[in-house]
Amino acid sequence: MLVEVKVQSLGLDRTSNMPVLILQEIEGDRVLPIWIGPGEASAIAMRLADMKFSRPLTHDLLASVLSGLGGELRCVVITRVADSTYYAELMIERGKDQFSVDARPSDSIAVALRADARIFTEEELLERASVEISEEDANFTLEGTEPESEGGSPFSNADELKEYLRQLNPEDFGRFSP
């Protein structure tokens, strides 16, 4: 089952010096952290800050090419995780044709933000790799940045990650500026 999520925050994990994208379910408090690369984090942070450039950046270019070819990004789906690497698909519609394109979650989300497309994840991912955050913790704002593999985590299992996230304070994250 798919669950719609939104970008809740973007930060820098000070323990690993890696950017972390925090996705939160739209109708709930569970979050899904994904460690991403600095380039993708910059692209996401720039879009969240509504920064404008005179020339299109890579993710802007992809969104423009897709639109120029008559396609529309319907949504992004984070489909699975294997060996600490997350996988996603761009769900594209062009006329009566629908197809998916394999992509990294960070790139997918950077394009989705530019195309105003919805973001989904599999329920199983939220159950396995998420934690519930309280109302006061949900309001922390991070701005944020590639480990060797997309979604690579310094944690060996989901329980270790959950415990780490439960103990985090917003001050534990650095601020990231594109």
What's the pLDDT at 150?
46
Per-residue confidence band for 12, with pLDDT thresholds at 50, 70 and 90: confident
Average pLDDT over residues 81-92: 94
Give the C-alpha separation, 166 to 75, whole Å.
Answer: 30
Mean of per-residue pLDDT scores for the chain: 79
pTM, two decimal places: 0.74
User: pLDDT (tens digit, 9 = 90+) per residue, 26-45?
Assistant: 998 899 999 999 989 999 99
Q: For the purposes of burial, counting CB atoms within 10 Å of the CB of 57, is it exposed (0-12), middle (13-18) or buried (19 or more)?
A: middle
Q: Which domains does the chain have, with CATH numbers?
A: 2-174 (3.10.690.10)
User: pLDDT (tens digit, 9 = 90+) per residue, 95-144?
Assistant: 999 999 999 999 999 999 999 999 999 999 998 865 444 444 433 333 33
What's the pLDDT at 19?
92
Nearest partner of 115 among 93, 134, 136, 137, judged by Cα: 93
Is residue 173 a contact partner of residue 11, using CB atoms and an 8 Å limit? Answer: yes
Residues 6+ apart with CB under 8 A from 163: none
Q: How far is CA 68 from the centre of its chain?
A: 25
